[in-house]
A and B are shown apart, each in its own frame.
Chain A
């Protein structure tokens, strides 16, 4: 495996950006509507029964950073699963790219920064909605945006790896029903991990979404401590490892 070339990786990203800009109006509504509904239903609906939470934040404010992490995950996964699958199999975009000076490593790197960019877009949407609800109090919350990029770099290659090995697009549903949705509900977004049974805690901390939600909470609600640094480093390590796995699997899939 060779190191990706930044120029070609960015060329992949620019292609996806151009395609996105032609169609973005069709999905822009959903990107804002989703956090609006979830913050409304959970934050204010369920929040009425929960009361003040962990210190003295409202339930809606408590779940906001976790939602940023959760949506960053979902959008990266969607892009790496269905988006990349269509580019790979239906539209043969990857094939057309590999006939140019581009190599598989560049292609996967470019896909990853695009997937992470989708995470950034959704993070901004959640932040804007939360700001509208008056849930954001610190300017540090802006750091949730680059953190969402990192979260995207962790999850996108997981989905891309699945895309590289699945026999059909339907199998990709498992990425969501078996992996993403359960993780979304246990990774400390809606309640603290410490409230889980003792035996579950280490397992839940090993899930990639848990450090992502923890880091986001530190950035948005504060105060930051060493555990947030560890979460950050864990995410960086996972992004690198998952990126290498995705590259190897894509190489196997595309180069025959």
Chain B
């Protein structure tokens, strides 16, 4: 089967600055696909081109067989878009937000009302139909934006950082709904800089940095390939970081620095933890995750601004 989203050699320049530098990937029908990377890596630029909102400098995006640059209206009719910055209509209450939006997709009023009511119930906002948007919590607003994106029964749901800025409770509610959509077979493309989110939601992802793809695959496989299974996190006293790092490297370990911590990969981690703890160091043994993948590939932490 043809991939439903095909991105080929995508480039986006803003003047001298190249935000996206030759990205290619494909998303299969029914897949939840992630674009993971730090702030400024080119995630939003990529998604804005993908959703026919911004033109590419070069390269192409084909969605459901349609070239985005040539058929923006038809492509946008097939998408559900959740932007990074919440853009609900504060002049209208919750249900009317959806009904007004449905007109932009030429949905007949009766179908629109059915679809809107169903979406509100699905996103646990059924009792909020007449509420002013301003009075909703951050998590409710985000769920409402996703409900709005689902109104037109999109072929692909595109979410730009769907839980950024939400508290843990709000985030988990959004994840739970997105996982339910994934179970129903909705094709989803999402960007995130949250490792836990990428791991929880995405079946396959690309990691991008400085506008380029630096890794691609299912999250668990990426972790195994780049970081191994386990990590020992060492937190030396301030001022001793360099010395401790030298000591770890003497032991033949691969070491990365993340803020005030040193991360040691590639050994029998439990044994190592015991040894280092006996030397009086503050150590933590844990399983490797996507954060480690990014750190191994770039030498930087994903939350760090460079």
Q: Which residues of A contact B (CB under 8 A)?
A: 7-8, 11, 14-15, 18-19, 22-23, 91-93, 95-103, 255-256
Q: B76 to A99, Cβ gap below 8 A?
A: yes
The answer for the CA separation of A96 and B151 in the assembled complex, in Å, is 14
Which chain B residues numbered 22 to 55 have a C-beta less than 8 Å away from chain A?
Answer: 51, 53-55
Contact stretch, chosen from B103-111, B179-187, B267-275 = B103-111
Binding-face segment, B89-97, B207-215, B251-259: B89-97
Minimum Cβ distance to chain B for residue A132 (Å)? 32
Q: In the bound complex, do residue B92 and residue A93 qualify as a contact, i.e. CB atoms below 8 Å apart?
A: no
Pairwise interchain contact B96-A99, C-beta atoms closer than 8 A? no
Q: List 15 A-B contacts (CB under 8 A).
A: A14-B103, A15-B89, A15-B100, A18-B91, A18-B96, A19-B91, A91-B89, A92-B87, A93-B87, A95-B87, A98-B53, A99-B81, A100-B76, A101-B74, A102-B76
Instruction: Give B50-81 interface residues, CB cut-off 8 Å to A.
Output: 51, 53-55, 72-74, 76-77, 79, 81
How far does the alpha carbon of A15 sit from the alpha carbon of B97 in the complex, in Å?
9
B89: which A residues are within 8 A, CB to CB? 15, 19, 91, 93, 96
A215 to chain B, nearest CB (A): 33
Q: Does B83 contact A (CB under 8 A)?
A: yes
Residues of A within 8 A of B14 (CB): 256
Q: A103-B72, A255-B55, A256-B14 are in contact. Are A96 and B101 (CB under 8 A)?
A: yes
Are B90 and A97 interface neighbours, CB within 8 A? no
| B51-A99 in contact (CB<8A) | yes
Does B104 lie within 8 Å of A255, measured CB to CB?
A: no
Q: How many angstroms from the CA of A208 to the CA of B126 in the assembled complex?
A: 51
Report the contact-size class of chain B (Cβ under 8 Å from the partner). 20 to 34
The secondary-structure label for the interface of chain B is loop
Could you tell me if B104 and A102 are in contact, using CB atoms closer than 8 angstroms?
Answer: yes
- Given A19-B89, A101-B105, 4 new contacts (CB under 8 A): A14-B103, A96-B89, A97-B104, A102-B104
Contact flags B1-23 to A (C-beta < 8 A → 1, else 0):
00000000000001000000000
B85 at the interface (CB under 8 A from A): yes
Q: How far is A95 from B88 in the complex, measured between Cα atoms in Å? A: 10
Known: A91-B90, A255-B54. A101 touches B85 (CB 8 A): no
Q: Which residues 170-186 in B have Cβ within 8 Å of A in the complex?
A: none
Bound state CA distance, A177 and B104, in angstroms?
37
Decide: A14 near B72, CB < 8 A? Known: A91-B90, A101-B77, A101-B105: no
With a cutoff of 8 Å between Cβ atoms, the chain A residues found around residue B88 in the complex are 96
* Contact partners of B92 in chain A: CB under 8 A: 18-19, 22
Q: How far is the CA of A8 from the CA of B54 in the complex (A)?
A: 19
**Residue in B closest to A94 when the chains form the complex, CB atoms:** B87
Question: B105 is contacted by which of A14, A19, A92, A100 (Cβ under 8 Å)?
Answer: A100
Inter-chain contact A14/B100, CB cutoff 8 Å:
yes
Instruction: Write out the residue numbers on chain A whose beta carbons fall within 8 Å of the beta carbon of B106.
Output: 7, 101
Please, how many angstroms separate the alpha-carbon atoms of A15 and B89 in the complex? 10
- List residues of chain A with CB within 8 A of the CB of B77: 100-101
Residues of chain B within 8 A (CB-CB) of A97 are 104
Closest chain-B Cβ to A26's Cβ sits at a distance in Å of: 12
Known: A98-B53, A99-B83, A101-B73. A91 touches B104 (CB 8 A): no
Q: Hey, which chain A residues are within 8 Å of B54, CB to CB?
A: 255-256
Chain A residues near B101 (CB-CB < 8 A)? 96, 100
Q: Considering the chains assembled together, what is the distance between the CA atoms of A15 and B99 in angstroms?
A: 10
How many angstroms from the CA of A103 to the CA of B100 in the assembled complex?
17
Docked Cα-Cα span, A102 to B81, in Å, equals: 13
- Rounded to whole angstroms, the CA-CA distance of A103 and B96 in the bound complex is 22
A170, chain B: closest CB distance, angstroms: 21
Q: Are A11 and B96 also in contact (CB < 8 A) when A99-B83, A255-B54 are?
A: no
Chain A nearest CB, measured from B162 CB (Å): 14
Q: Are A101 and B76 in contact, with the CB atoms below 8 A?
A: yes
Say whether A255 contacts B53, CB under 8 Å.
yes
A95 adjacent to B83 (CB under 8 Å) = yes
| Minimum distance in angstroms from A3 CB to a CB of chain B | 13
CB distance from A252 to the nearest CB of B (A): 12
Top-6 shortest CB links A-B: A92-B87, A19-B91, A100-B104, A99-B81, A96-B87, A101-B73
Please measure, in the bound complex, the distance between the C-alpha atom of A229 and the C-alpha atom of B14, giving whole angstroms.
48
Per the bound structure, the CA–CA distance linking A102 and B76 in Å amounts to 8
Known: A18-B92, A255-B55, A256-B14. A103 touches B81 (CB 8 A): no
